[in-house]
Structures are given as C-alpha cells and as structure tokens.
C-alpha cells in the first residue's frame, strides 16, 4: 500500500475540489484536534468550526459553504464526511473479514429441505431450519438461528447470534448486526374474567425490504395476523424496539433506544433521534424529523418536532425560553404581590 499521496492525487481519488498546494504530501488521517501537518481531517458539523480553525491538519475535507483560510489546504465537496471516509479507506490497513471460515462450516445444522444459494458462508453452530431459502453470496454468522420457511435474499449479511423466527422475509443486501431478534412475538394479551392475562397468538410475520440495516440487539416483533414491515433503505440503530404490525417507511433513520408501539406507521425519509417513544396506531408523515427523547402520542404532519408530548420546534423553543426564566418570573410575581399587599393596607 502506498504510504504518501499528494493532494492532487487525493482530490482525484475522492472526486473533490482541491484548494491549496497540489504537491503537498499526506500520509494519514486523524481528528481535527489531534491531526498533524501530514494528516487529513474533516468538518461535517458546525459545532467543530473553532476546532477546524485551530487544527494543524495538512488538509481538511469540508463543504463549499465554509469560510476558507487561504494559507491552508482543503478538499471541498457536498458531503465532506463521505469524502473523508474515502481517505480513511485509502490510508487504512484494515481488511474487511467477516469470518475466517468460508463455505458451510461442518458444525452448522441445515435442515434437508433448506435451499442455500451460490457462494454463501454459514458459520459455526448456525441453525437453518425447515424450508429456509438463502440467496446467493449471503453471509450467515456463527450461532445464527433462521426459523422455518424464512427467506434471506442475495448479498445479505447476518452477523453472529441473530435470531430470525419463522416465516420472516428478508430481501436483498440486508445487514443484521449481532443479537438482532427478528420476528419475536408481539406484546398482545387479553384479560379474562378472573383478571388473568391470556396471550394472543401472533401468527403474522416480518418483512424487511432491500438495503435495510438493523442494529445490534434491536427487536422487531412479528404481526398479529399480517406483517410488520421495514421498507427499503431504512437504517435502524442498536437497541430499538419495533412492535407488531408497525410499518416503517422507505429511507427512515431511527436512533438507539427508540420504541415504536403496535400498528404505528411512518412515511418516507423520517428521522428519529435516540429514545423517541411512539404510541400505537399513529401515523407520521414523510420528511418528518423527531428530536431525541420526544414522545409522540398523535398523528404528526410533516415537520420538525421536539418534546414530550412532541410539538413543533419553534413552539418548543419558545416554551424552553420561558422555563429557563421561571425563577425570574417567580421573583417578579412575589414583588408584585408585595406591592399589591401594601396598596391594600389602610393608611
């Protein structure tokens, strides 16, 4: 691997616009704070503008809206984070190896009726149950369980210790991180005349469409009688709970520890911060953004929301201003009460 690149070479490799010395040599990557003059860094968040100004990095990836110091070098693009990622890959010795094993490991247990595609890897102690279909070029890690009559598409990556229960449908290029549970029972009970909980059988399934990624230890419950659906290109973080009959729309991004109750539905391009809570049977419109720790209890039209219960950003910010001034308001009220009391006193 080549150890040094000129900025001219790096601009070509990353499809970025170079501002600076084309012959300047770069030999690695680092953070803005820690980079030395032979390393590249990046700015993708306005909170780090001051760190960028202080940085000793030999070149910085940024977008064209930022102010440039003519004495420094820059690689300019609309997506500086992606450009920097290309630099990380260029300078990295890391080789992506999912497993040291290839093919079907002797300890894996495959039901005779299972159908395995071309050039698949099935790791140690994986269990592939009755009627399972796995597409070409898919990776099934160690200790994975795939339940009866489930199907896995082409080019999927199922990391170790994932559980995929019966009749789950997973389409192409899906990634399931370690410990994900797909198709577990939905949380459904009735109460009899004695006040006892009686379980409702959940006989539906889960459908995960193309290019979805599910984070570690995330759980997606199967539907009561139809399908819980995760639509294409959606990215779900670790430790997320998605309940039965939920429909997650195309190209959603859902951060860690979010919980979505049964039969709720999101539109396209919805984004949720961490620890968002959504009650059951609500709909969230396309292009909606929900901030961290927000609570959703009703249908949301498209917009940006924050708080619990969630409200539009502008309204939330106005209320926060008043909350921060509560002590001041309390003192003013006490002063006014004292004046009123004196006015009422007889002369």
Catalytic residues: 244
Q: Please tell me the distance from the alpha carbon of residue 67 to that of residue 44, in angstroms, as a whole number.
A: 13
CA 235/CA 258 separation, integer angstroms = 13
Q: Count CB-CB contacts under 10 A for residue 340.
A: 9
Cβ 59 vs Cβ 73: under 8 Å = yes
Provide the angle, in degrees to the nearest 10, between the axes of the packed helices 7-14 and 80-91. 120
C-alpha 168/C-alpha 147 separation (Å) is 8
In contact, 256 and 273? CB cutoff 8 Å: no
Hey, what are 131's tokens?
A: 């009627």
What's the chain's length in residues?
A: 347
DSSP bridge pairs for 62: 76
**Rounded Cα gap, residues 242 and 230, in angstroms:** 10
Is residue 314 exposed (0-12), middle (13-18) or buried (19+ Cβ within 10 Å)?
Answer: exposed
222 DSSP assignment? P
d(CA 42, CA 29): 9
Strand partners, 289: 271, 304
Inter-residue contact 185 to 202 (CB < 8 Å): yes
């Amino acid at each position: 691997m080549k150890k040094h690149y000129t900025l001219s070479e790096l601009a070509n490799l990353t499809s970025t616009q170079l501002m600076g010395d084309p012959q300047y040599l770069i030999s690695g990557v680092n953070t803005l704070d820690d980079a030395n003059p032979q390393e590249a860094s990046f700015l993708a968040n306005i909170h780090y503008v001051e760190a960028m100004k202080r940085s000793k990095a030999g070149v910085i990836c940024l977008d064209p809206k930022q102010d440039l110091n003519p004495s420094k070098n820059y690689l300019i693009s609309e997506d500086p984070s992606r450009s920097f990622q290309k630099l990380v890959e260029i300078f990295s010795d890391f080789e992506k190896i999912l497993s040291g094993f290839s093919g079907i490991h002797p300890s894996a247990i495959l039901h005779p009726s299972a159908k395995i595609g071309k050039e698949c890897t099935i790791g140690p102690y994986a269990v592939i149950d009755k009627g399972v279909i796995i597409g070409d070029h898919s990776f099934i890690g160690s200790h994975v369980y795939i339940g009866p009559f489930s199907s896995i598409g082409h080019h999927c990556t199922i990391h170790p210790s994932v559980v995929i229960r019966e009749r789950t449908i997973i389409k192409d290029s899906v990634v399931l991180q370690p410990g994900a549970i797909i198709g577990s029972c939905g949380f459904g009970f009735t109460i009899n005349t004695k006040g006892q909980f009686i379980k409702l059988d959940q006989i539906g399934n889960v459908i995960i469409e193309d290019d979805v990624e599910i984070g570690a230890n995330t759980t997606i419950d199967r539907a009561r009688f139809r399908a819980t659906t995760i639509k294409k290109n959606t990215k779900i973080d670790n430790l997320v709970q998605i309940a039965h009959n939920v429909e997650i729309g195309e190209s959603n991004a859902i951060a860690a520890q979010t919980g979505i109750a049964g039969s709720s539905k999101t539109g396209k391009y919805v984004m949720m911060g961490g620890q968002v809570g959504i009650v059951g049977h609500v709909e969230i419109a396309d292009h909606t953004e929900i901030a961290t720790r927000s609570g959703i209890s009703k249908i949301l039209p498209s917009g940006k929301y924050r708080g619990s219960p969630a409200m539009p950003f502008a309204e939330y910010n106005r209320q926060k201003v008043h909350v921060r001034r509560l002590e001041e308001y309390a003192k003013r009220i006490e002063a006014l009460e004292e004046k009123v009391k004196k006015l009422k006193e007889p002369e």
